[in-house]
């Protein structure tokens, strides 16, 4: 497999790791959006949220919370952006599930979002919500 995150996890590519546990690793982003930008990655390869197991997702999210709290305290960040992308259409570049932790400060110049806020069609929103509710798989 030619996955850069798998190579980092296997030690084939160096990384500045801040957390290394049984199921999860967290390391600093070498192309940071802001000071302290890091990535949290499950050790088992899963391309996106649709492929990752629930137990590995839970371990990853728990690690995100711990790492976000630590970097917020260390850098005295005023906020944290947590970002997770799925598929090329959402701008996912590395096809290995990962969550970005990006420390934020007021007026740091980073856009909060890439989408434009606009009033939605409430009839359409309600229709989609009804369809999604019917299609949600019950939790196990």
For residue 107, pLDDT beyond 70: yes
Of 63, 62, 41, the residue nearest 52 (C-alpha): 41
Q: What is the mean pLDDT of the chain?
A: 91
Q: What are phi and psi of 13, to 5 degrees?
A: -125, 130
Whether residue 71 lies inside any domain: the answer is yes
In the chain, pLDDT over 90 holds for what percent of residues?
72
Q: Which pair of structure tokens corresponds to residue 63?
A: 């690690």
Whether residue 132 lies inside any domain: the answer is no
Whether residue 57 lies inside any domain: the answer is yes
Whether residue 87 lies inside any domain: the answer is yes
Lowest-pLDDT range of 28-37, 64-73, 100-109, 128-137 = 128-137
**What pLDDT, on a 0 to 100 scale, did the predictor assign at position 112?**
65
Number of domains in the chain: 1
Range of 33's domain?
4-111
Whether residue 125 lies inside any domain: the answer is no
Q: What are phi and psi of 70, to 5 degrees?
A: -65, -45
pTM (predicted TM-score): 0.88
Whether residue 134 lies inside any domain: the answer is no
Told to judge if 96 belongs to the known catalytic residues of this protein, a careful annotator would answer: no
Whether residue 131 lies inside any domain: the answer is no
Task: Please tell me what DSSP assigns to residue 36.
Answer: T
**What pLDDT, on a 0 to 100 scale, did the predictor assign at position 137?**
80
CATH code assigned at 19: 3.30.428.10
Mean pLDDT in residue range 64-88: 95
Lowest-pLDDT range of 5-9, 22-26, 93-97, 117-121 = 117-121
Whether residue 79 lies inside any domain: the answer is yes
**What pLDDT, on a 0 to 100 scale, did the predictor assign at position 120?**
85
Q: Which of 37, 45, 96, 98 is catalytic?
A: 98
């Amino acid at each position: 497999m030619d996955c850069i995150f798998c190579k980092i996890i296997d030690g084939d590519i160096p990384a500045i790791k801040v957390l290394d546990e049984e199921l999860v690793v967290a390391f600093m982003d070498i192309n940071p959006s802001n000071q302290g930008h890091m990535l949290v990655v499950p050790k088992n390869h899963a391309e996106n949220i649709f492929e990752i197991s629930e137990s590995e997702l839970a371990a990853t999210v728990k690690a995100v919370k711990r790492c976000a709290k630590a970097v917020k305290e260390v850098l005295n960040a005023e906020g944290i952006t947590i970002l997770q992308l799925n598929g090329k259409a959402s701008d996912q570049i590395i096809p290995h599930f990962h969550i970005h932790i990006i420390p934020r400060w007021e007026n740091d110049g980073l856009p909060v979002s890439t989408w434009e806020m606009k009033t939605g069609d409430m009839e359409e929103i309600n229709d989609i919500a009804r369809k999604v509710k019917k299609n949600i798989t019950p939790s196990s």
